[in-house]
Structure 1
Amino acid sequence: MTAPVSTSTSASERTGVRSVRRVGLVGWGAIGRVVGRAVAEGAVPGAELACVIDNRALGTEAPAPQLGFDEALAHCDLIVEAAGQAVVREWGERVLRSGTDLLIASTGALTDEALAGRLLATGPGRVYFTGGAVGGLDLLQAVREMGPLTDVRLTTTKLPATLEQPWMDEELLHRMRTATAPVEVMSGTARDIPVKFPKSTNVAASVALAVGDPGRVRVTVVADPGAARTRHAVHASGEHGTYRFEVEHLPDPGNPATSQVVPYAVLRSLAALAGKTGQIL
């Protein structure tokens, strides 16, 4: 799913002419490699990979020139972020001020309401996020238009090693490392959890963006040594209905903190932005 969080209109849309999207990809990790190679091979009609931005020297590994951010903004009309929340915080507003659109994979950054507000207020570029590893967000957005969802809960279950964080004390780390059954690691709101798990809880932020209020979404993070698949279960209810979504994904073999499906969700969002027709948006 591609969900716009800004409503400004580009010159090409005003004139009815859509040109090829020149894409700058930030990050050459588990997500970026899949996205970058697919775009470079022509898998996304209407999009071409103009450059890759990464703080490591990639040499011939990248299928497009490796540029710095300032150079990329001069060559691209869409930046795809696949490198973590810090990139959104440091570069998001600058990208939008340049007139370049921004597609965010690390949605956890947007639970910082001050940052989200600044991104919404910045233009002429537009900001979008991709739902990543969870479904049902379009339905939650539709229900939200009828009235608030009064009870929204998300339970995320992952392998213990993928959830370890520098702030954890020895007691919690020991419980996680020696667990033989699921262990609740932390609970809180979608405003709090993505800050504590910046590489593992973008789903919490995506649900919060769909619901429209990070404080309304209660999140529980569970470490399970038997979790061969990453699980996300969403329960939501309001006066208009009750909704339940549950997904299980294989983790990416190179980065188990990320589900294998995430880069393909980014590609689908990119296809929507590039003007692909005949799909559900």
Structure 2
Amino acid sequence: MGEVTGVAVVGRGSIGGVVIRALESGEVPGARLTAVVDLGDSLDDALAVADLVVECAGQRALAELGPRVVAAGKDLLVVSIGALTDDALHERLRGGPGRLFLTSGAIGGLDLLRAAALMAPLEKVRIVTTKKPATLGVPHAAEPVEVMRGPAREVAAAFPKSTNVAAAVALAAGSFDVVEAVVVADPAATLTSHVITASGPAGDYRFEIRNRPSEQNPASSQVVPHAVLATLRDIVR
């Protein structure tokens, strides 16, 4: 039998809860749940028994705990990618000695965007996210309304629970400055929609993703914890 990776999960909400249950039931070969870090729990105790920490607790938790994880030489898998709009935090997390991993979350196509950006800088990238109004702070909207439009860095910071995807696209594109993010509240939306368009020397691209919202947390999508588990499988393979 190969070496087993000890995994600590930070947060037990709509994302962390699914990840915890999957690890407990042995759904990720080569990984074993060794700790869960929740409000008031000791990160130091978790680091003593874990090789890798999965952050599922939001941008504030990542900013507070993430640097301690990598500084302790433990690997870190990040869900709250929007926190990486803070360049100083991003550099601290990349500084090691622990390794930094990111999950694709609720969107796809990032590998192709990354490849296109490596060939030559992308000239224009846009992501339009459409969700139910209540998840965006405009519960009384009676028709589709554009809540915010601007650089991905600003939009991801303004909607930390809803726009990790904007940060993920910007990181794949290689620049927060080239990506415009648009957030739309639509009372008729039954699915969460992300439409990504990009153009550059490598070509023109369009991806449309329509996810079912999490029943426990409509600001997130049902598929997110499973994206985390897919990334975790790749790490411990």
Q: Please, what TM-score do these two structures have when normalized by structure 2? A: 0.97
Distance across 2 between alignment mates of 1:32 and 1:38 = 10
Instruction: Compare CA radii of gyration and give the structure with the larger one.
Output: 1
The partner residue of 1:269 within 217, 231, 234 is: 231
Q: Which residue of 2 aligns with 1:158?
A: 131
Quick one: percent identity of the two aligned structures?
54
1:146 and 2:130 matched: no
CA distance in 1, matches of 2:152, 2:195: 14
Shift of 1:235: 0.1
- Asked whether 1:248 is paired with 2:210, we answer yes
List alignment gaps of at least 5 residues for structure 2. Answer: none
Written as runs of structure 1 = structure 2, the 5 A alignment for 1:1-281 is 19-55=3-39, 67-121=41-95, 123-164=96-137, 176-275=138-237
CA distance in 2, matches of 1:91, 1:46: 25
Give the Cα separation in 1 of the matches to 2:4 and 2:20. 16
The offset of 1:141, in angstroms, is 0.7
Distance (whole Å) between structure 1 residues aligned to residue 27 and residue 43 of structure 2: 24
Backbone CA RMSD of aligned residues: 1.3
CA distance in 1, matches of 2:35, 2:152: 33
What does residue 4 of structure 1 align with? none
Q: Post-superposition shift, 1:120?
A: 1.6
Query: CA shift at 1:119, angstroms?
Result: 1.6
TM superposition shift of 1:178 = 3.3
Alignment partners' CA distance in 2, 1:233 and 1:143: 18
Structure 1 SS opposite 2:128:
strand
Deviations 1:193-244 (A, max 9, x none): 1111111100001101101111111000000001110000000000120010
2:133–2:140 Cα contact (<8 Å) kept: no
**For residues 48 and 198 of structure 2, what CA distance do their matches in structure 1 show?**
43
Question: What is the alpha-carbon distance in structure 2 between the residues aligned to residue 44 and residue 20 of structure 1?
Answer: 10
- What are the superposed Cα offsets for residues 115-147 of structure 1, whole Å, 9 maximum, x if unpaired? 1122222x2100111010010001111111100
- Could you say what secondary structure the match of 2:15 adopts? helix
Amino acid across the alignment from 2:17: R
Q: What are the superposed Cα offsets for residues 146-174 of structure 1, whole Å, 9 maximum, x if unpaired?
A: 0001000000000011011xxxxxxxxxx
Secondary structure of 1:75's match? Answer: coil
**2:103–2:228 contact (8 Å) kept in structure 1:** yes
Tell me how many residue pairs correspond in the alignment. Answer: 237
Which whole-Å CA distance do the structure 2 matches of 1:25 and 1:214 have between them? 28
1:230 maps to a residue whose letter is T
CA distance in 1, matches of 2:113, 2:101: 17
- Counterpart residue type for residue 90 of structure 2: A
